Structure 1
C-alpha cells in the first residue's frame, strides 16, 4: 500500500498525497467550489479532478516537479521561469471570473488590515518596530487602483509544476478570482528576486510592470503572513522566508 504523505496541514485545511492522488480536505465547501470553478475556467494546465465528496476533493498528481519553495533553493532554468511567466500572462489575459479572489481585496479594506497587523506585530513583540515601519512604507505602493484580472491568488513557486522548460500544471486555486495581476507576480517571485527578470521576460515586454508595486506586494504579503504562520505552526523566521524578505527591504 502507498504511504500517506501529509503535504500541508493546519486548522483550515489539509492536503494528503497517496500515490498519484492528492486528497484536499477543506471544511469550507464554498472554497472547494471556488477552486473547482477556477480550474475549469483557467486557460492554463491544472490538475484533473478525479472525484468530489465534500469535504474531500481528489486530484490527479501533475507530471514534473515544482520550481522550489519559499526558504529553499530555487530550481529550473531561466527558460522554465520564463515559461511560468508566460503561463501567468495567459491567465491574466483571460476574462476574469465573477468571484473576487484573494488578490482582489479593496484598497480600503487591505490598508485597514495591514495597519492592524502592523500594530499587532509590534505590540506582541513579533517584529521590531523599525522593520515593520519601513516595510509598511514600502507596502504603500501596492495600495492603488488596478485593472481586474484573472488571478490565482496564492501563486507560490511550490504551486507551479514544470517538466524541463514546460509548465505542466498549476495547483491550489482556492484563492482564485478577480484581482491585481501584480499580486500574482509578486507572490510567485517572493524570496526569489533573482528570477524576477526571467519571469517578466516570459510574461512579455509589451506590458508595463511597475517594479515598485512588486516590491510593495513582497512587503505587504509578508507583513500579513507572519503572525498567521506562527499561530499555525510554520516558521516565517526560517532563512529565506517572510522575515528575511522584510529585512531585504531595509
Structure 2
C-alpha cells in the first residue's frame, strides 16, 4: 500500500500524495472551482483531474521533479529555467480567462493592503522599521498600469515540474486569472535572482527589472506575517526576510 505523504498543510487547505495521486482538501470551493477551470484553459501542461468530491480534488502527479524551492538551491539547469520562462510566456500569451486572479488586484486595493501590512509588521516588532520602509519604497514600482494576461497567481518554482530541460507541468492553479504578467515572473524568481536572466531569456521579451524587484519586495512584505502565523519560517536562509534584506 502506498504511504500518505503530507505535501503541505495549514488551516486553509492541505495537499496529500498517495502514490501517483494528489488529494487537495480545501473548504473554500471557490478556490477549487478556479483551479479546475484554470487547468482546463491553460496552454501549458497541467495535472489531469481524476475526480472531485467536495472538499477533495484528486489530480495526477506530474512526471519529473520541481525546479526547486524557496530557501534552497535549484537543481535545474540554465536551460530548464529558460524552458520554464518560455512556458510562462506561453501562458501569458494565452486567451484571457473571464475572471480576475490574485495577480489582478487593483493598484488602490494592493497599496492599501500593503500599507496596512507594513504597519502591522513594524508595530508587532516582527520586522525592523528601516527594512520595512526601504522595501515599501521599492514596492512602489509595481503600482503602474499593466496589460491583463493569463496569470497563474502563485507561480513558485515548487509549482513548476521539469524532466531534464523540459517543462512537464505546472500545479496549484487556485489563484489563477487575469493579472499582471510581471507578478508571475517575480514570484517564479523570488529568492533565485541568479536565475532571473535564464528565465527572461526563455520568456523572450524586454522586462522592466525595477518592477520585478518591486514585486519581490511587495510579495515578501505581504507574506511574512501570514507565514509566521501558519507554521512556516520566512526567516530561514534564502526565504522572504532575506529577499527583503537584499533590497537594502
Q: 2:230 — aligned with what?
A: 232
1:8-47 alignment, distance < 5 Å = 8-47=8-47
CA deviations on 1:118-140 (whole Å, 9 max, x unpaired) are 00000000000000000000000
Give the TM-score normalised by structure 2. Answer: 0.99
The aligned residue for residue 106 of structure 1 is 106
Deviation for aligned residue 1:76: 1.0
Displaced runs of 4+ in structure 1, greater than 4 A? none
2:121 corresponds to: 121
Cα distance in 2 for partners of 1:225, 1:9 equals 16
- Measured against aligned partners, the alpha-carbon deviations of 1:125-161 in whole angstroms (never above 9, x if no partner) come to 0000000000000000001110000000000000000
In structure 2, runs of 5+ residues without a counterpart are: none
| In structure 2, C-alpha distance between the alignment counterparts of 1:92 and 1:73, rounded to whole Å | 26
CA distance in 2, matches of 1:88, 1:26: 26
Bigger shift: 152-161 or 207-216? 207-216
Q: 1:223 aligns with which of 207, 221, 224?
A: 221
CA shift digits 1:62-88 (9 cap, x unpaired): 000011100011111100000000000
Q: Could you tell me how far apart the structure 1 residues matched to 2:109 and 2:96 are?
A: 21
Distance 1:49 1:100 in 2: 22
SS of the residue corresponding to residue 114 of structure 2 reads helix
Once residues 96 and 215 of structure 2 are traced to their aligned partners in structure 1, the CA distance between those partners, rounded to angstroms, is 21
Q: Distance in 2 between matches of 1:120 and 1:30?
A: 28
Secondary structure of the 1:22 match is strand
Give the 5 Å matches for 1:56-67: 56-67=56-67
How many angstroms apart in 2 are the aligned matches of 1:98 and 1:17?
31
Output the aligned Cα RMSD: 0.5
How far apart, in 1, do the equivalents of 2:54 and 2:202 lie? Answer: 38
3-state SS of 1:16 partner: strand
Give me the whole-angstrom Cα distance separating, in 1, the residues matched to 2:96 and 2:28: 23
Identify the residue that residue 141 of structure 1 maps to in structure 2: 141
1:208, distance to aligned residue in structure 2 (A) = 2.5
Following TM superposition, by how much is the alpha carbon of 1:96 offset from its aligned partner in structure 2, in angstroms?
1.2
Helix, strand or coil at the partner of 1:172: coil
State the secondary structure of the residue aligned to 1:63.
coil
Partner of 1:247: 245
TM-score (norm 1): 0.99
